[in-house]
Chains A and B, each alone.
Chain A
Amino acid sequence: MELHANAFGRNARKALLDKSLQEALGRTTGRFLAHRDAAVAAFPEFEATRERASRIKGDVLDHLDTYLARFVEAAERRGAIVHVARDAPEAREIAARIARDEGVTLAVKSKSMASEEISFNEALQEAGVTVVESDLGEFIIQLAGEAPSHIIAPAVHKTRQEVSRLFERHLGEPRTDSIPELVGMARRHLRSKFLSAGMGVSGGNFLVADTGSVVLVTNEGNGRMGTILPRVHLAVVGIEKVIPRMADLPTFLRLLPRSASGQAISSYVSILTGTRSAGDPEGPERMHILLLDCGRSAILEGKYREILKCVRCAACLNVCPVYQSVGGHAYGWVYSGPIGAVLTPLLVGLPEAAALPDASTLCGACADVCPVKIPLPDFLLELRSDAREQGLKTPGEIAAMKGYAGVMKRAGLLEALERIAGVLGQFFTKGKGIAGLPYPLSGWTERRDFPAAAVQPFRKQWKIKRGVRR
């Protein structure tokens, strides 16, 4: 997927002016949040489960090599073929080779954020394979030629009217405002694809090390149909998705749907283990698992390793007031919201995405809801500090910070400047709020008054009151 993370400011301003986006965002994030809060409130063991999940993921990160090796061995024992890609170009090459070797011309794909990281669809199209997105949201944005704007609800930015216009243009369907009718149109269109596709492509929410299983947590059933009907199944999954034991899965299944959509359990949980054996009524004849490193083992080595605990529930997006205001596309890559603001710079390099860690008020709402307790605000702060150390701050900001720190070195100097500001404030605004200031304060005063400084700062008043002579 093309990277525009450093255009965050410009894209965010555009998003703020997009009325239908604003309407869609307010409605959907609000609904997810309300459902999530209700589901958590109705689940008294939430905190304890969260603690356990975070610990299990911590153990995985400490022994990722071991668990991955165990997973690969178990999966291959069940007939799967496991591939590992170090980076996106290698992943694309492997995916194209699999499709070519398997003689695939049409693939149906269920939702996978990892596949977006490597521009999977483009890679297969270049290899002559048609890829049809089968998740409803992904299907919609594929028709629109857009990228997902939310981890679990990729078309969250689209209103039903926009979807109907797309279906009219691309599928020749009549216009409707009815969501069930729109779903019916997509289903009719996709059914024939499921039946004729040579390969089903999926992501993976968990990789179970002791059984070699790929676990899919979905709501639409497309994931299950697409991984069972076609002759070949290809799962594209990040290496950090491994969990040690099947016995650990319930911990995560209790957390993920509740955090994501507020469901106690998703409509479908598919545990896909190996290829069809003799006597199995269904299942793929061939199963490929493409494990993506793509920057993950580098993250594992550093101070941000806990970000790899993420289960992609998107609760941090829904609760983030910045995400709620601008939506996912403003973040300019696969992942958005607080997780995107941390993960994108780590995966693509901070120079390419230094605007993202700044896109937060550090309000901490994300850390409150994270089901695996990732310290997202701490990581945002840390990345901002890295940006300074890597020379990515503007000279203006550094000069301002140096000047401000210089003033704060001496209380006397601060007081003198405060008194000058107080006099100016009286002179220009008679002590009332200031309506217009030059850059970099101009953004503030566009729609808000800036406070005028007090004539006498508190320090001075206190000295007079207490008779301190200094």
Chain B
Amino acid sequence: MGPSGSIPVSLFFTCLADAFSPGVCHATVEVLERFGATVRVPLSQTCCGQPAFNSGNRKEARAMARKFLRSFPDDGPIVTPSGSCAAMVKHGYPVLFRDEPRMLARARAVGERIYELSQFLVDVLGVTDPGSDFSGKVTYHDSCHLRRGLGVVEAPRKLLRAVPGVEFVEMEESDRCCGFGGVFSLKYPQISCRMTERKVERILATGASYVTSGDLGCLLNIGGLISRIGYPVKAIHLAEILAGGAGGGPPGAAADAKKGGG
């Protein structure tokens, strides 16, 4: 699909990508613009509150959710390069505001507008050819919240298969958790690490040069173990593959260099 008029899209760039992988945010903008979106970046956004919500600290999560809802007041789709942040807004916010009817209605309305990047490209824009010049052997890790939380399974795979230079290979247990789990990785790091080791074994077994995913949290976790051991595989965000160009370094590094970032 080519440019089809101008669709206004608000970018929810996520605090994690903001701080650690700005390249992922730039790549997301680049891909959205390629398919005719006019990308707005609300600069007052911070964090959706997921770490607080998932650890049971709902008071703090609620404060961040209010802030988020204020930051995205306009109509139109909100797109984010993170399955878990999108799932937080869609499914977590209604829980946070279940006793506040007015806020609940607002949360639900915003939840209707939010999409993870690959979901938006395939399901809304109908993209079949991402137009990326990325090349390499790639395997895909299903982020739990993208797959089970949002039900997005095929969209990222369709996009990857449509990149001419990408040799896509499925890993075994692609839908098995990588062990990140946010605060879990700090509370029970040894269990978390054991799960990450099993994930990395499956990745290595494919012989892929890149492992990609729709969630930066998973990629920082998987990439952290890969870089510690020095395995010959790179963790790279799906947005970066779709944007094209050579991948290198930690998620976001290639695009960061290109954009004069970190």
Contacts and interface: CB of A to CB of B under 8 A. Distances in A.
B231 interface: no
A111 to B, nearest CB: 28
Interface residues of A, number: 72
Given A384-B56, A448-B228, A454-B252, A363 B188 contact: no
Interface in A352-387: 357-365, 367-368, 378, 381, 383-387
Closest 9 CB pairs of A and B: A384-B56, A443-B189, A361-B181, A454-B262, A448-B224, A405-B60, A363-B177, A458-B22, A364-B148
A462 B41 contact: yes
A325 interface: yes
Contacts of B196: 448
Contacts of A322: 188, 191, 195
B164 interface: no
Nearest to A398: B57
Contacts of B190: 12-13, 16, 443, 446
A408 B261 contact: no
A452 B252 CA distance: 12
Contact of B49 (A367, A408, A431): A408
B261 A448 contact: no
Interface of B: 13, 15, 17-22, 25-26, 41, 43-47, 49, 51-61, 63-64, 67, 95, 144-145, 148-149, 175-177, 179-196, 198, 220-221, 223-225, 227-228, 250, 252, 256, 259-262
A16 B188 CA distance: 12
A31 interface: no
A345 to B, nearest CB: 12
A325 B191 contact: yes
If over half of B's interface residues share one DSSP class (helix, strand or loop), that class is named, otherwise mixed; here it is helix
A16 B41 contact: no
Interface in A437-470: 440-441, 443-444, 446-459, 461-463, 465-466, 468, 470
B227 A388 contact: no
A404 interface: yes
A111 B120 CA distance: 51
Nearest to A378: B95
B215 to A, nearest CB: 12
A363 B189 CA distance: 16
A89 B172 CA distance: 48
A405 B59 CA distance: 9
B18 A458 contact: yes
Given A404-B51, A405-B52, A448 B250 contact: no
Given A401-B60, A451-B20, A454-B252, 11 more contacts: A321-B198, A361-B192, A363-B177, A385-B58, A409-B63, A411-B44, A422-B262, A431-B262, A454-B21, A454-B256, A461-B260
A448 B18 contact: no
A454 B180 CA distance: 21
A355 to B, nearest CB: 9
B149 A401 contact: no
A440 B186 contact: yes
B51 A363 contact: no
A422 B191 CA distance: 29
Contact of B186 (A401, A444, A447): A444
13 contacts: A12-B190, A321-B195, A361-B195, A363-B176, A404-B52, A408-B49, A444-B224, A447-B225, A448-B193, A454-B262, A458-B17, A459-B43, A465-B259
Interface of A: 9, 12-13, 16, 321-322, 325-326, 357-365, 367-368, 378, 381, 383-388, 393, 397-398, 401-402, 404-405, 407-411, 414, 418, 421-422, 431-433, 435, 440-441, 443-444, 446-459, 461-463, 465-466, 468, 470
B38 to A, nearest CB: 13
A321 B177 contact: yes
* Most chain A beta carbons < 10 A, residue from B25, B43, B188, B259: B188
Given A398-B57, A414-B46, A456 B22 contact: yes
B130 to A, nearest CB: 21
Contacts of A456: 22, 261-262
Contacts of B15: 408, 414
A433 B224 contact: yes
Contacts of A326: 191
B19 A468 contact: no
Given A393-B56, A454-B22, A435 B228 contact: yes
Contacts of B52: 401, 404-405
Contacts of B176: 321, 363, 365
